Structure 1
């Protein structure tokens, strides 16, 4: 929360500030296509009253067995799940943000090194995992269905 707040000037950016009274306990996800300095996709899972977040440079894996680098970034407020718009030049993450996919998920397993879940979105559905490899680096994997 603190890192998120410190990186933004809410009098200049349309991004939502952190609120203590946000909805909690839902299992929603969002993928935001973010055209900043470099195009990437932000993958966010609602867990524990925050959006745990990863930047995915090449986009989420669509086919079973595909692995993508996912870089852990600061948690975002739950209200960010609906954010789409333009972050002004000079602000952190400046550029356009659009919702690429959104839906619900079932959390299968969560620890410090692995998050396993099933997604139910319009573009992403099925079994996935995020596996911590080093520092802020994770692998975002589309699992093969059994």
Structure 2
């Protein structure tokens, strides 16, 4: 069995409260700052600002201003040039999201179609 790609959701308190979603891909953590956290409602996508990739070691990094809100592994469901759908398999269960490139920035969307939680 091959190793699963990791994800981490960092909770930052400074300089201003926000979350960072990090997905392992091509040997790095691709990262997006999500000011209001991951969406909890399918009708309200949230801003996701692409930030610099991080080294894989950063997945376990914490300090007095940064903690790990969730972590686990992720899997790609579907990908096009402007959107990719993925599932986060974390401590809180399995949740499907889409990251959408609007051409001016990114949005993260909670999809209507959610997986059964027994897929963990």
Q: TM-score when scaled to structure 2?
A: 0.83
- Tell me which residue corresponds to 1:84: 62
Residue 7 of structure 2 corresponds to residue 39 of structure 1: no
- Size of the aligned set, in residue pairs, is 112
Shift of 1:124: 5.8
- Tell me which residue corresponds to 2:40: 62
Paired residue secondary structure (2:102): strand
Q: Distance in 1 between matches of 2:41 and 2:90?
A: 15
Q: Distance in 2 between matches of 1:74 and 1:114?
A: 19
- Tell me which residue corresponds to 2:94: 125
Unaligned runs of at least 5 residues, structure 1: 1-24, 87-95
Q: Distance in 1 between matches of 2:82 and 2:93?
A: 22
Q: TM-score when scaled to structure 1?
A: 0.70
Shift of 1:134: 2.9
Does the Cα contact within 8 Å between 1:68 and 1:139 map onto a contact in 2?
yes
CA separation of 1:128 and 1:26: change in aligned 2, threshold 3 A: same
Unaligned runs of at least 5 residues, structure 2: 115-120
- Tell me which residue corresponds to 1:97: 66
Q: Which has the larger radius of gyration?
A: 1
Q: Distance in 1 between matches of 2:81 and 2:92?
A: 27
Does the Cα contact within 8 Å between 2:4 and 2:74 map onto a contact in 1?
no
